[in-house]
Structure 1
């Protein structure tokens, strides 16, 4: 066999890492206990990979691989230099009482967040490779053959933020440090060293890299220098095609090149180039990002096509990317209907698919693999013909609905809204969710399991909403929310009330650190089955004379944060979602809820990585958002929220969304994002986050006041809303209450100066 994966999920079958991390952060367990949990998980995951050529080492992380590499390279900002070991590591990731965390953003077009390293020409760059070496030695001791998984230098550099120094000088210094890291590993680890360098940044093409001084010559020079150290090198790209990198790497002395044939079909055009070299092709053939059982017949046909150019002995079957983006195993799903479950394949099962496909590719169908092969064919046929997937009414309605423009333009609407809604200058609100306490989770869990009655459950939800509304009134927030106590997740909750979705018990996927999400699975045509948010929004409104903001998750975000069916265009699925949400918006406004937030937190992360594909995505994503919100009357104010995004390249699209108010995350990145809106001449209202909710630290009144004043240097007071930078569900009440009180006090102080 010749088999490879680029990484494995690290949170554990039962989210063991999440629990160990949160226990350690709460000072309820020791560092030794956390590391023991990590060691046990690594061993368990290596055992599942024993049929592969090598097990992945260093794909495991206590928080994030980009942070790991920054830490290993000694790219430690001066503010953290007084801290040691995990105290320093987690302070960079999460902040502490005295320090802000480093910025986070999305890993390409996935829902995984990475910590953005900061690079400074004056950093000491003292290497710390202990974690890599210890994991490597552990794998050896357990009897496995290890392959070190590393984020490639060029991807690391391109995704980092230079805080001081000229690009060329910083590039040179970080490159030297990175090469020293490899030399250190070579010197201290015995035997043949195999390293797979992940270089997904190259799927974006040369243009963004050339701005950083990265050229074809620099790539060839770098990887030849690494190769000269006597390492077996694989360089892999994924999430799209990268003919540019293939053309470059064939000119180096490296061993293998990894290409994604699931999301980068145009990689087939690189086979002619590869064929003329001696490089081994690591063919990303099994989907590392989606949960459907592969159609192995079509995968085999693709491999046979590849083999017309590249000899069998130079082809290694691989996952398309790291399996980090998948749940652990379908074995934990005992409640899902058997037919739907048979269509699904998670990380553990993906390895089994690789084994079966490789067996048939190398040796044909034999008595050993015939039964499994026929089962795969049957599963795919059953899914294709299943009647529950298709709904004629949904398909017909989509053809009929074409209105995607609000009844009045923004400048006319906003006058009506300000008069109708009567909110003050620098209006204060939150992004929607409030802390999900253990008691709240237990309440939902007990109701779902049947341990408590509907009456007891609803009484508990009412109590939470009542307390939530009372607290917001006490501190003086202007626009309130109900706190979302009934929602397990901002996407899953909606999917549970829509046709075409199925839900798992344990299909958890890491979003960042200990934060895990359980994405819904879209298997069929989508329709709204019932009121989704109306009951609890109206209950909250009955408790106060202030405006309650309705909270919906937008169609593009539901799509991008779900595992999506692969038998229909994503644009069509998104529009089906939009129609369902359109009905919910109409129900809310017809019942007096005139401020409605349609979150599009994942709008940016769905962007294609190749620039030539961007316009088509923007077209249908924008059309879907507007299809949902065009039903809003002029007096109904539509808010939206976007997470961790660089807006420079999509500001025109944001403008075209025509939301009345957009809230964005700026707390970690300062006013840089806000200046984009000013330079574009953006007219609609904006709520820049004035403090970072992803850190447990409580911002002071003076700190928030300073932040608000800095916002006013960029945009006029009439255009600004004041809010945290994201929802508060992951925080504790003892953090949320003083932070919001300080936010209100700071806002009042600034208002007095205006």
Structure 2
């Protein structure tokens, strides 16, 4: 039975790509050195997959920044504002893609970055393509061809992975009115045909087209576009073997269209939607030549595969189709999981028993091969022993005391509607809060974190290694906190933050202080570009051990008469940005986390903190891909937030923060959170989100971000005033706050100070204008 993989992590087992990218941006290495690092990662990935016994190995799954951005470059879909960089500066493709992703501000040019948003319901961010009515496409970047050629020269008969033309269009946005981006398909397909021609000349055979939009609720126009695209491509190249891959959900009502497509293999995500196998086998597939790729190994989570469950699905397929028509694969690209469990050697973070329940990308390749072996006519002795070991691990996990805490289960079951309700409505709360806080019009704040410099990170490393005592570390953190408070006061900030210098990550920091979590040393995954995160692992029932944030927040508040925000990560975001246990409903785990955060909110209020922010940037990310599943998720997510935030008096102001996702379709649920203030990303998307507020009439206060913190460029005061004036056109001035898009952890101090000072000045200008 053939095995294949849809994609492999591109960052390197030790985050080599992140380090090389950032060194290149800092001017510390050359483009050639960066390219060599990338080539080493690709070759290592190919050899690793070959050694695991994977039959069809992907290529072009590597990217320096983002695969959707790569498709923009492949098709020449480069927004007009970058043309000066191409013509005048003659930027190489490498630098052009970084400028499109991060912005460009030097040598007399100031060009904003492209919008960034979440890749379906994952924490991976992609660069959003921009389309115009007169959009022209042409083959600009030949990366897909060069990487296939590179693999072939190295001795691998690889499978190019290409984002499909319809998903590429649907994932983008029209940047002017009067047309729909699908109307551009006929202009786009010639580029795909040229790419296929060049691959065919190099004797490529398998081509994987990723069309993840087939997991969404598509209309007839979108389904017709899919049919037109693949009819055109296959007609031109009938000798090529097309693997059509969608993932993260069922095909749903798109299934009949998909089954009629002229493709040779159809991939199924049987982890997220095992029921679709029966739906497909109930059709006339037996009487066709279509092959099925069975995605039975979870590409989204770190738990070991349950071989018995996977084999049941495989055998169901075998009852209808011969082994020659079946392929075994992960459910999706392994981009979303860490590289190698073998690197995890610290039992203090990851107990051996928990490690025995896990599989990272490298180990998932082994699982794919073992499952194919077990499903064959004569399984090997090694495969049969692997099955026994797997069954023992599954049984051990089901009964472990590390997982089950009866007191947590009982408290969660006892949550009532009153636990999820503030005492008074927002208008009454706002009046009481103003009597305490005395805020001006257009109050200013930041989202929470300030730059985590190399020096600050070194303190944490030295403390953990025992090179700094706890007292020495505490003194250093307090000094940095005090400096940030003095600076915020000096520029006239209204609601201050303590800077979060003691925190490693907005989720990991909390997970380390909660029961039910374990941690990895090398469990890094890519979030966007060079940004990697190391998600904590929720292995059991969650509860708070002791106060988590009160100490440094209370210290910062002691230094100033201005309000200092308590900074917490919300239950939905902690859930979404962790690897979550898969043995109980996610909503149950989320409610357990909410109760732990509720306890922390209570203690912050008792400590005299009158503004508390509970970040929920992942609220939209967790939304199911299919509309019919939205209500249950949104009800449970809103309930979790309200349980976390509602145990305070009316005088305590609750903030939340959201960023880099499409929120226009869930405004009612955002309003139902009933946070007193929401800060939200709008600058990178050119305040597009504000159009939704014009229709919805958001009831509480809102801070539309005026400073894109994921770009190194520094916006001017005038630019930020303009963005706020756009907001005032749709939101009453008395509801508006002024703030950056997101936390400032990844920026450096010079640009942070310049941009935030300009932001405060912009707020003062707005106050003068409104008064006049």
Decide which of 84, 98, 101 is 1:93's aligned counterpart: 101
Q: 1:510 to 1:319 in 2, by over 3 A?
A: same
1:677 deviates by 2.4
Is 1:4–2:4 an aligned residue pair?
Answer: yes
Corresponding residue of 1:529: 545
Corresponding residue of 1:71: 73
Corresponding residue of 2:479: 463
Q: Is the 8 A contact 2:223 2:254 kept in 1?
A: no
Map 1:634-673 → 2, pairs under 5 A: 634-673=650-689
Is 1:474–2:490 an aligned residue pair?
Answer: yes
1:309 deviates by 2.4
* Counterpart Cα distance in 2 of 1:73 and 1:368: 46
Map 1:584-599 → 2, pairs under 5 A: 584-599=600-615
Bigger shift: residues 433-442 or 220-229: 220-229
1:165 deviates by 6.7
Is 1:254–2:263 an aligned residue pair?
Answer: yes
Q: 1:175 to 1:539 in 2, by over 3 A?
A: farther
Bigger shift: residues 87-96 or 128-137: 128-137
1:166 deviates by 4.6
* Counterpart Cα distance in 2 of 1:173 and 1:675: 25
Map 1:95-494 → 2, pairs under 5 A: 95-97=103-105, 98-164=110-176, 166-167=178-179, 170-187=181-198, 189-207=201-219, 210=220, 213-216=221-224, 218-228=225-235, 229=237, 230-268=239-277, 269-273=279-283, 274-335=285-346, 336-402=350-416, 403-494=419-510
Task: Deviation per CA, 1:680-734: give whole Å up to 9, x if none.
Answer: 2221000100111110000111111211222212211110000001000011111
Corresponding residue of 1:675: 691
Task: Deviation per CA, 1:23-74: give whole Å up to 9, x if none.
Answer: 1111111111111111110000001111222221111000000000011100
* Counterpart Cα distance in 2 of 1:704 and 1:221: 44
Corresponding residue of 1:44: 44
| Secondary structure in structure 2 of the residue aligned to 1:167 | coil
| Secondary structure in structure 1 of the residue aligned to 2:104 | coil
1:676 deviates by 1.7
Q: 1:636 to 1:607 in 2, by over 3 A?
A: same
Bigger shift: residues 291-300 or 670-679: 670-679
* Counterpart Cα distance in 2 of 1:108 and 1:363: 38
| Secondary structure in structure 1 of the residue aligned to 2:689 | helix
* Counterpart Cα distance in 2 of 1:174 and 1:514: 31
* Counterpart Cα distance in 2 of 1:25 and 1:512: 15
* Counterpart Cα distance in 1 of 2:544 and 2:375: 44
* Equivalenced residues, count: 748
TM-score for the superposition, normalised by structure 1: 0.97
Q: 1:251 to 1:221 in 2, by over 3 A?
A: same
* Counterpart Cα distance in 1 of 2:735 and 2:712: 29
| Secondary structure in structure 2 of the residue aligned to 1:526 | strand
Q: Is the 8 A contact 1:17 1:37 kept in 2?
A: yes
Bigger shift: residues 251-260 or 576-585: 251-260
Q: Is the 8 A contact 1:77 1:123 kept in 2?
A: no
Decide which of 600, 623, 632 is 1:607's aligned counterpart: 623
* Counterpart Cα distance in 2 of 1:275 and 1:639: 56
Bigger shift: residues 643-652 or 338-347: 643-652
Bigger shift: residues 249-258 or 533-542: 249-258
* Counterpart Cα distance in 2 of 1:96 and 1:526: 44
* Counterpart Cα distance in 2 of 1:149 and 1:219: 17
* Counterpart Cα distance in 1 of 2:123 and 2:358: 20
* Counterpart Cα distance in 2 of 1:747 and 1:103: 24
| Secondary structure in structure 2 of the residue aligned to 1:363 | coil
* Counterpart Cα distance in 1 of 2:375 and 2:223: 37
Bigger shift: residues 402-411 or 7-16: 402-411
TM-score for the superposition, normalised by structure 2: 0.95
Q: 1:575 to 1:677 in 2, by over 3 A?
A: same
Is 1:574–2:583 an aligned residue pair?
Answer: no
Map 1:695-714 → 2, pairs under 5 A: 695-714=711-730
Q: 1:440 to 1:330 in 2, by over 3 A?
A: same
Task: Deviation per CA, 1:647-666: give whole Å up to 9, x if none.
Answer: 22111111111000001000
Task: Deviation per CA, 1:467-526: give whole Å up to 9, x if none.
Answer: 111111111100000000011000000000000000111100000000000000000000
Is 1:557–2:573 an aligned residue pair?
Answer: yes
* Counterpart Cα distance in 1 of 2:500 and 2:131: 39
